[in-house]
Structure 1
Amino acid sequence: MVRVCIDDFAFKKRYSYGTIMIDLDSHRIIDILDSRDKEPVIEWLRNYPNIEIVSRDGSQVYASAITEAHPRAVQISDRFHLLKNLSGAVEKYMFRLFPARVEIPATARTRTPEMQALLDTRNRAQRIRFARTKYEEGLTVNEIALLMHSSLTTVNKYLAMKEEDIPEDIDSARERQHKVAVSTREQKIAYVRKLFDEGCSLQEISRITGYVFNTIKRYLSEDGPSINGHYDNRRPGKLQSYESEILELRSKGLTYTEITEIIKKKGYTGTVDALRVFMQKEREHQKKCETKDSESKEYIPRKWMVQLIYKAIDHVKGITQEQYEEIIKKYPILGKAYEMLRNFHELMFSKNLDKLEPWMKDAEKLQIDEMNSYLAGLRKDLDAVKNSIIYTYSNGLAEGSVNKLKVIKRIMYGRNSFELLRSKLLLLESFHQIN
């Protein structure tokens, strides 16, 4: 009985691909093919009539080719790809539904009065109102000046100012641009929904509006947000590891230039302008946190929530257990998605087929589009999925062998034909020791 795994590899990514076959017992590469199309793969597989077990990924081309070439062969869907695709589906759902920072009730009041003052004084109007509020609370002019890092003359000027002379609190240019973008998108959503309510099909809506089908489906979805999912997304950069220190130093009254000099001694290589932009964004977040009932809010970056798909909470540094519980309380469906991921991982290694169908039914109840698409793929390849639970074989050997093939291909770059590549690879495999 011959047991093999089959996978594709790239000659030139996104343009041309080949196929590789590995013996699961000897761990040797059996052969490679310069195509991954169905007909050449069928013809190639028929050259190996004693194949009885085949491990593969979710490719329907390979599934169909194996079925036609070896109808009695046992096909096993690779567990890694099943878990990876499920995680990817949940990740796509989170990027579609959640903003770059998720608002939850504050789990801890950790800001000092100096830090709160720093974030409460975003512009001149806010500084004037802040000084007057603190004066009404009983603080002296000296105390307010120290808190705001302003001169006594400036604070006295703020306190003596008439109410009608206080300037209006205006949004920053970034906030104004964002509001215009949200308004525009809401109009697009309303127009698409209006066309759909009038009986237009997706094809007709696409023709009228010029939007692609995925955009139309997102606009028609009830849980589709009007805010772009990438808005306010904090990209990793030179400043990231110094952010908390910058806030603390700025709250003590240090200038941006002084702060830059301090953190440059610790390895920062960016500019002082980056600090100003960072502080502007932090003040905007503070403004979002303010509510009419004065309830304290905090924001959790979506990237930490995405990491919970792949890691336990103890290994995600940006989120605490208390914050996680607040997120799940606000978004119960997210907690169910996390639980479903854990259950599927246990199912894959349980050797218990009876758990698969109940898990799929529970997943369908979540009514997540990305999940339903994944489940449709599982049902289409159900026998191979069940075999992945029963058998221990996987495509790990194929992934490692493809890496070996890539190394050889790059060494021969610019002077190799496919036949030369195949001959060299198989020659090297002939010296491979059987495990």
Structure 2
Amino acid sequence: MRHYLTTDLDQILASARERRPNGHINRFKPYLQQRFLGGATNAAALFREIRERGYRGSRVVVTKYIATLRAGTATLEPPQPIPSPRRITTWIMRHPDTLTDSQREQLDRILAACPELATARDLAHEFSTIARERRGHELTGWMTRALDQGPQPVQGFAAFLQNDWDAFVNGLTLPWSSGAVEGQVTRIKLIKRRSYGRASFALLRTLVLAEPP
């Protein structure tokens, strides 16, 4: 009772919010430490940044924590190991809803530290949507953004699309594909390999016609 009688209402409310899963500041401390050491010392600005990253706690809690960083009394969180490029690529290419909270947090920190990678992620997701939903008519706008804003590998991919532009647009628009033809080619190659490559054309033709697809 003495605690509630002698504590300001704002601090009590902030403490209650801090106990909520989405309001817990601990998982945002590494990001705040990184930004603080990088020269961002404004508590209000840092509060807005972590709000955009999912923090639902009080601004008072953030202000107090930044004050401990200024005073040098904060317990610094140990740096987390940097994921491998292959793992980062996997997280980028997967749908965000399939990532765990830990994976999403790590990816958010990486993208915040590397805006160029964040741009590549956005362009990759946009291209994936165009391909999956057959929005070939949107490919021109995507290519323009990729050439203007994308990192060098993305720009190279966008420039490569121009080599056979009509084919790419049609492939991402029309419902038809060469999948059936490619399947038959694979089947014929399999039959040929079973003969160790020594069958004559006449025998190969007979085997292909005799074996049902």
Q: Compute the TM-score of the two structures, normalised by the length of structure 2.
A: 0.54
Paired position in structure 2 for 1:415:
198
The structural deviation recorded for 1:336 is 1.8
Determine if contact 1:304/1:318 at 8 Å carries over to the other structure.
Answer: no
Distance 2:190 2:180 in 1: 16
Determine if contact 1:313/1:320 at 8 Å carries over to the other structure.
Answer: no
The structural deviation recorded for 1:420 is 3.1
Aligned with 2:109 (options 310, 323, 326): 326
The structural deviation recorded for 1:414 is 5.1
Q: Deviations over 1:275-329 (max 9, x none)?
A: xxxxxxxxxxxxxxxxxxx663212222211212442355467962111110110
Distance 1:394 1:325 in 2: 37
Distance 1:416 1:310, change over 3 A: farther
The alignment partner of 2:196 has SS state of coil
The structural deviation recorded for 1:361 is 0.9
- Whether 2:205 is the aligned partner of 1:425: answer no
- Whether 2:172 is the aligned partner of 1:389: answer yes
In structure 2, list runs of 5 or more residues that go unmatched: 1-28, 32-75
Paired position in structure 2 for 1:307:
90
Paired position in structure 1 for 2:186:
403
Any residues of structure 2 matched to 1:101-120 within 5 Å, and which? 106=30
Any residues of structure 2 matched to 1:14-163 within 5 Å, and which? 106=30
Q: Which has the higher contact order (CA 8 A, sep 6+)?
A: 1
- Whether 2:131 is the aligned partner of 1:369: answer no
Distance 1:389 1:422 in 2: 35
Paired position in structure 2 for 1:47:
none
Give the count of matched residue pairs. Answer: 141
Amino acid aligned to 2:152:
D
Higher strand share: 1
Distance 2:80 2:193 in 1: 50
Distance 1:309 1:423 in 2: 48
Distance 1:388 1:363 in 2: 19
Any residues of structure 2 matched to 1:247-326 within 5 Å, and which? 296-299=78-81, 300-313=83-96, 315=98, 320-326=103-109
Amino acid aligned to 2:117:
L
Higher mean C-alpha displacement, 309-318 vs 351-360? 309-318
Determine if contact 1:347/1:355 at 8 Å carries over to the other structure.
Answer: yes
Higher mean C-alpha displacement, 406-415 vs 380-389? 406-415
Distance 1:426 1:319, change over 3 A: farther
Determine if contact 2:120/2:154 at 8 Å carries over to the other structure.
Answer: no
Higher helix share: 2
Aligned with 1:358 (options 118, 133, 141): 141
Distance 1:368 1:394, change over 3 A: same
Aligned with 2:131 (options 348, 359, 362): 348
Distance 1:316 1:419, change over 3 A: farther
The alignment partner of 1:397 has SS state of helix
Q: Deviations over 1:177-210 (max 9, x none)?
A: xxxxxxxxxxxxxxxxxxxxxxxxxxxxxxxxxx
In structure 1, list runs of 5 or more residues that go unmatched: 1-104, 108-293
Tell me the C-alpha RMSD between the 2 structures: 3.1
Paired position in structure 1 for 2:38:
none
Distance 1:409 1:384, change over 3 A: same
Bigger-Rg structure (1/2): 1
Amino acid aligned to 2:157:
Y
Amino acid aligned to 1:366:
Q
Determine if contact 2:188/2:208 at 8 Å carries over to the other structure.
Answer: yes
Distance 2:107 2:78 in 1: 17
Distance 2:165 2:181 in 1: 22
Amino acid aligned to 1:356:
L
Determine if contact 2:143/2:158 at 8 Å carries over to the other structure.
Answer: yes
Q: Compute the TM-score of the two structures, normalised by the length of structure 1.
A: 0.29
The structural deviation recorded for 1:332 is 1.6
Distance 1:372 1:356 in 2: 14
Distance 2:183 2:102 in 1: 34
The structural deviation recorded for 1:422 is 3.7
